[in-house]
Amino acid sequence: MDNIRIHNGIVEIVLSGKVYADKAIDLRERLFPYLGAGYNRFWFDMTAMDYIDSSGIGFLLAIHKRADKLGGEVVITGLQGDMYKLFELTQLTHLFKLT
């Protein structure tokens, strides 16, 4: 189970293992309510994530667009190795704020 917590008004999510389509749906269902509750800053820690497919990326873009509309942002930390390369190949390193 991926860890979600609120810290200083930021929704922090730790992703680990493989993010397949079913997990992306689960994340959408669990995180979108935070947007409805007024949260617009999301921090994803992907240090321990070793797989994400287009559905997971689609989810990240969806939450990025909505957070951006609300004046917030999505920050991604811990991308490395093949996961960073995937974001590079799909030109997402320019879109997301990476730390």
Residues near other proteins, by CB under 8 A: 20-21, 50-55, 57-59, 61-62, 65, 81-83, 85-86, 89-92, 95
- Region of 71 please: left (phi>0), alpha (psi -120 to 50) or beta: left
Give the residue with the Cβ less far from other proteins, 47 or 90: 90
CB 47 within 8 A of CB 17: no
Assigned token pair, 63: 């939450």
- CB nearer to other proteins: pick between 6 and 21: 21
Residue 9 vs 58, nearer CB to other proteins: 58
Token readout for 47 is 């240090």
